[in-house]
Amino acid sequence: MKSKFFVVLVAACAAVFTGCLIPSLNPLFSEKDFVSYSDLIGTWSQDGKGEDSWKFEKDGKTYKLTHVDEKKRTAEFTISVGKIGTNIFIDSFFGDERPDEHLSNFAVVHLIPAHTFLKVQKQGTALNLIALDVEWMQKALKEDPKLISHVMRDNYPLLTASTEELQKFIAKFAANTNAFKNTIVLEPKK
């Protein structure tokens, strides 16, 4: 039976990222791994003046992301920043306590919280968020099912690896431009 949650997740990701985001049940970082990354702070959009908005604010040891899409739908995320090797990564986790005011409590229980990861690169005034490519991941897992702990849902990977295993996996493939190739370029919102 198809999981409605994953179908919705894939559709939503496709609207933002060409290759989508791969969800994980566990975070990429533990609190001891958090670093500060002031280049993240600010309000961004995909062309600097677009309909979308990505507002990052410092929130203690983490950051708060308020994302508004082109249809004016809003969601809040908790963002953790960490460094793996020489690369900066963010771990996003849905932080909105009201996922949908139209859902019953029974329905809300069925929404599985997940983390997603993006490599971050600052180039000039642009902030590049680079996602792990889903097609690359599907192929890599087909070739080596033990590459990283996961389950497949409708041919879509859901990572079940521990934080330590995730960090080792990301460290191994962080420089692989086939693995990390789906980039969204954010410019300061004007």
Q: CA quadruple 11, 169, 162, 88: dihedral positive or negative?
A: negative
Residues 72-98 have a mean pLDDT of: 91
CA distance 62 to 145: 33
Q: Tell me: the pLDDT tens digits for 130-189?
A: 999 999 999 999 999 999 999 999 889 999 999 999 999 999 999 999 999 999 999 998
Confidence class for position 99, pLDDT limits 50, 70, 90:
low
Confidence class for position 101, pLDDT limits 50, 70, 90:
low
CA distance 76 to 79: 10
Q: What is the DSSP string of 167-180?
A: HHHHHHHTT-TTTE
Compute the mean pLDDT over every residue in the chain, rounded to the nearest whole number.
Answer: 87
What pLDDT is attached to residue 11? 39
What pLDDT is attached to residue 105? 76
What pLDDT is attached to residue 160? 98
CA distance 167 to 173: 10
Q: Name the least confident of 72-76, 89-93, 175-179.
A: 72-76
Which residues 6+ apart lie within 8 Å of 170 measured at CB? 28, 84, 89, 117
Q: Tell me: the pLDDT tens digits for 4-57?
A: 444 344 434 433 444 479 999 999 999 999 999 999 999 999 876 778 899 999
- Domain extent listing, the chain: 4-35+81-183
Q: Which amino acid is at 93?
A: F
Query: Closest Cα to residue 176, out of 108, 127, 119?
Result: 119
Q: Vertex 121, ends 13 and 22: CA angle to 5°?
A: 25
What pLDDT is attached to residue 12? 44
